[in-house]
Structures are given as C-alpha cells and as structure tokens.
Amino acid sequence: MEKKFKIASSIDTVRKIAKDRCSIARFGDGELGYIKKIGLYFQDYNEEMAKRLKEVLDSNEEKLLIGLPLALNPEFINLYTGYAKEYWTEWTKKNEEEMKKMLNMDKQYYSTQISRFYLDYADKSGVAEYVKELKNIWKDRDVVIIEGEKSRLGTGNDLFDDAKSISRILGPAENAYDKYNEILEEAKKISKDKLILLALGPTATILAYDLYKLGYQAVDIGHVDIEYEWYLRKATTKIKIEGKYMGESGVMNQGVESKEKRLDVQDTSDSRYESQIIAKIL
C-alpha cells in the first residue's frame, strides 16, 4: 500500500490550535513553489526568503504546526468541487513526487486550508460549525493582527467580535518581506500573553516561526476574512469585496492583473478600525 502524507483535517487543525494554543505556519502551493524559485505576483522572488521558508518547512517544534495543502492526501480531493477539484488534482499530479522528496512522509502535518473553509467545497453543510470552532482560536483573547495594508481583516463583519480586544500592525500589501526585519522588531514589543494573527502572504509563514521561537502564539491565518465574507454573502464564485485587498488566486479572473489595480482599494472611514492600528511599516 502506497504511503500517504499525514495531514490533519482543517477542523482538527483549528481545534488543536485553540485547545493547545499552538502556532501554525502554512505552506500553500505558493509557498511550496517559492522554495522551488517560483515567485508570486504579490511577492517578488528573494533567495533569502526561499531559504527561510525551507527552514520553517523542515522545522520540528512541539507546538508549531506546519500546514500543507490537503490535496497532498488523496482522501481529501473529493471534498472539493468544480475548478478547485480540477486545480488540486492537477497540482498534486504534477508535484507529488517532488513533495515526497521535500517533505517528511512520517511527520504529522496540518491543514493549510484553515482559512479556506467555504467556497471550494462540495458539501457546505458543516461550515457554520467550522466557523464556530475557528472563532474559538481568538475567543476572549487579546489579539494583535499583523496584516497587509488594505487587508482590513474583520472590518464590516463580526469575525472577531468574540475577541477581548483587537490591535493591528500594518505591513506592505505586497512584497512584505522587504520590510521583514522592521515588522519583526515591532512585533517583539507585543506582550507574550496576546495572540498574534498573521495575514502577510508567505512572509507570515516565516513570521509565525520566528515569533513562536520567541515565545508567542502566532497563527498564520491568511485571507480568512475574504472567505468569511464569501460565506456570509453565500457567494458561488470568487467575488471582489469592496474596501479589501484581494491578494489571492481568483483576483486574476476579475481582470486585476496589475499591481496598480490590485492596490486600488477604496479608503475606509471606519474609525474603530483606525483606532486599532498601533503601528504602520509600509
């Protein structure tokens, strides 16, 4: 019998993060491709960054979970529908052998799709329960969100209403790794009893690792807010959310190919959001 990657489901992953106060660094197709010297449209290729990503991927820390695409375990493929199923089937076929060399087949990995819980799935009946489990990660916690400028996680919805408090550090919307050292230095000022949520593309993967090593609980949460917006709107395709940067797959099919168009996000007049910002590193 052929050996499979050991990857926990998304709901088991969020339950473990909440219960054991684990950190997580997530590797999607973009981060795994970056290690193989494939840049991203919102993060130019940087050799040092690729080396750091490989360092995180190879790490073996007790309470730092490493997230991988669920599709690497074939039993998860049938959870997807439409384009997502086609994409991950093809991606797995193309990359499986290389992944077997890059990854540890005996290691327990976790789901990188914790922030992708709605749109790509054929059966959406469990989404409400999943969202409840997801919100347990920050329930009654003082939270600092380190996010790209214009991402605005949780604005205009109730995603983080269960948190005790919310503060924000804003980094660049694109090429955040260019400001990595400054972002890390600012993050070191945060009290270690606070939960740090990260939404900075592949930069967040590395930041989760470095902050974990410094004694923080750091959760690389990605564009969970966009997925939550789609869920609230019962979207059937990837739709643009006004006032929020769309640095993810799906923005391309809306004709937003250029950096100027991607960054053309309307300003917010949300005074609550503005009051939560404690630092900007742009």
Q: Residue 249's pLDDT is what?
A: 46
Q: Is 162 part of any domain?
A: yes
Q: Is 109 part of any domain?
A: yes
- Which uninterrupted H or E stretch holds 91? helix 82-102
Q: Residue 268's pLDDT is what?
A: 66
Q: How many domains does the chain have?
A: 1
pLDDT at residue 18 above 90? yes
| Structural domain containing residue 86 | 6-280
Q: What average pLDDT does the structure give for the chain?
A: 92
- Give the separation between CA 98 and CA 103, rounded to whole angstroms: 9
Q: Is 209 part of any domain?
A: yes
Q: Is 239 part of any domain?
A: yes
Q: What is the mean pLDDT of residues 82-92?
A: 94
Q: Is 1 part of any domain?
A: no
Q: Are 32 and 95 in contact, with CB atoms under 8 Å apart?
A: yes
Q: Are 155 and 270 in contact, with CB atoms under 8 Å apart?
A: yes
Q: What is the mean pLDDT of residues 177-197?
A: 98
202 strand-pairing partners:
200
When pLDDT is cut at 50, 70 and 90, the band that residue 255 belongs to is very low
pLDDT of 211-239, one tens digit each?
999 999 999 999 899 999 999 999 998 88
pLDDT at residue 171 above 50? yes
Q: What is the mean pLDDT of residues 63-77?
A: 95
Q: What is the mean pLDDT of residues 91-106?
A: 95
The pTM (predicted TM-score) of the whole model is: 0.94
- Give the separation between CA 120 and CA 83, rounded to whole angstroms: 8
When pLDDT is cut at 50, 70 and 90, the band that residue 251 belongs to is very low
DSSP string, 218-232: EEE--SHHHHHHHHH
